[in-house]
Structure 1
């Protein structure tokens, strides 16, 4: 399952972000192709009853029948065939079989990319050192969204979530700032689930009176915390970089409904590829 999700997310960032520009460039190029075809046919296609040399002379102004002019004698008047009109070229391209096929392909690609991103897996970027050493600034990881629909989060899992109201009230100076940042996701590790009794003492984490293995953390915590009991429907999340993380020991518990997904693989940079430290 994890390998399937990883295979889906690797091309996702490039496909999803580059699609509009790709579509745009394709549409721009199509009229050019149409114009090029018209110009090529103008010089290389022999008209019925007209020798090819006469055709070259006619087009280059060296002989042949004179080009009809408008009543005002303007040499730049359009001959009425619309070949030099960009709008006409664009309209012809949209009516062509190639355009219909391209539009179908781009639409299907966009639909697949959006479906994967919103319902299955999405890429995420690490902006801070709060999860060091598991993640470093600039790391990119795959976040899957299926598990949260099947079961609740478990201890040790790294989750991406929307910040709770308590976090926004603490960090932002005004309601307007809070609303602007409401969708900026955070990433932390689940250390306790509903019903767990949590204590941090002498830098060590205890859950239900049992000391936890925290080999993933940067160092022991410099603070004491608890005892607290995690309420129903809530989680306690902490950063692996205990002393440099604005997390649950400061702003409290995280509602389960705020969770976006579970981090499953780090895919960038490639030399750190894998799921070390992720449950």
Structure 2
């Protein structure tokens, strides 16, 4: 009887521990694995970060701070990079973010801020913030093509209609150049590819083979990308983006961040998928800030905010 009673107590203790761990995971701390080099040299590929979730519930993140947030869209490509532990832990995430992944970037703009990139420097409300003076920013994505977010929306919505999708990509190439078309294609991906089929004949005949996956259900190959149109319709349908993105007299594209949104960019902007490419991040997507690097052990230590 004592053995049975002791076993019951152990089971109860384990259940209590599981409940406590779940509460901590949901409301106080969580971890994330960084699979890309978008924040080099601040954060390296393969770093596992300990993310504190309370601070940004009592105050807003400030310009220059490093922020962890949910990707605004389902990111098929990053999902393939997650390890088993991360996939399991994300089962405890809010249901609205199922299929989304965690991003870590630096906050460069809040609601009402006006952003411009000139000579590699990011101007916020006409000045380069002190915390960003030593950082170089590449004027790509929305800072190069003022209709870029709309292109992504249309491409994402058309992706399941292969002919219409490719026609749209070719229209971008015709009107804005091959580089713009290939960029949209690379971000949105493609479905229904056959073995050996050219991706975009005349524009992109070859693609990194490691980015092509096989779908057992459809018995076809595909290139993972963004499921972007669902996010766009939920958060941008009430915004007139033309009011927030426009050219100045000298041709520089100026961005005004809408209220209720943030603009975040990676430190390594040549290798960063950030707001230049997918748009403004809603405040409710913010998770917290990384306070500690817990892996690898040789780089164990606190993450500097600035």
1:140-159 correspondence runs (5 A): 140-159=48-67
- Matched residue pairs, number? 178
Q: What is the aligned counterpart of 1:228 among 244, 255, 272?
A: 255
Larger Rg: 1
TM-score for the superposition, normalised by structure 2: 0.52
Q: What is the aligned counterpart of 1:110 among 10, 18, 22?
A: 18
Match of 2:294 in 1: 267
Unaligned runs of at least 5 residues, structure 1: 1-91, 173-178
Q: Secondary structure at the match of 1:267?
A: strand
Q: What is the aligned counterpart of 2:282 among 239, 255, 262?
A: 255
Tell me, yes or no, if the aligned pair for 2:265 and 2:276 is still in contact at 8 Å.
yes
Match of 1:99 in 2: 7
**Cα distance between partner residues in 2 of 1:169 and 1:98:** 46
**Cα distance between partner residues in 2 of 1:272 and 1:180:** 30
Deviation, 1:115, is 1.2
Q: What is the aligned counterpart of 2:28 among 96, 106, 120?
A: 120
1:1-279 correspondence runs (5 A): 96-165=4-73, 182-212=99-129, 213-214=131-132, 217=135, 220-223=136-139, 225=143, 226-279=253-306
**Cα distance between partner residues in 2 of 1:140 and 1:180:** 20
**Cα distance between partner residues in 1 of 2:16 and 2:48:** 26
Evaluate the alpha carbon distance shift between residue 198 and residue 170 of structure 1 in structure 2; reply closer, same or farther with a 3 A threshold.
farther
**Cα distance between partner residues in 2 of 1:263 and 1:216:** 21
Tell me, yes or no, if the aligned pair for 1:163 and 1:182 is still in contact at 8 Å.
no
**Cα distance between partner residues in 1 of 2:289 and 2:16:** 27
Match of 2:240 in 1: none
Tell me how large the CA RMSD over aligned residues is.
2.9
Question: Runs of at least 4 residues of structure 1 off by over 4 A?
Answer: 167-172
TM-score for the superposition, normalised by structure 1: 0.57
Instruction: Give the number of the structure whose residues are more often strand, by fraction.
Output: 2
Identify which of structures 1 and 2 has the higher relative contact order when contacts are C-alpha pairs closer than 8 Å and 6+ apart: 2
Evaluate the alpha carbon distance shift between residue 243 and residue 201 of structure 1 in structure 2; reply closer, same or farther with a 3 A threshold.
same
Evaluate the alpha carbon distance shift between residue 264 and residue 216 of structure 1 in structure 2; reply closer, same or farther with a 3 A threshold.
farther
Q: Secondary structure at the match of 1:223?
A: coil
**Cα distance between partner residues in 1 of 2:275 and 2:32:** 21
**Cα distance between partner residues in 1 of 2:43 and 2:134:** 10
Q: Secondary structure at the match of 1:138?
A: coil
Tell me, yes or no, if the aligned pair for 1:161 and 1:261 is still in contact at 8 Å.
yes
Q: Secondary structure at the match of 1:211?
A: coil
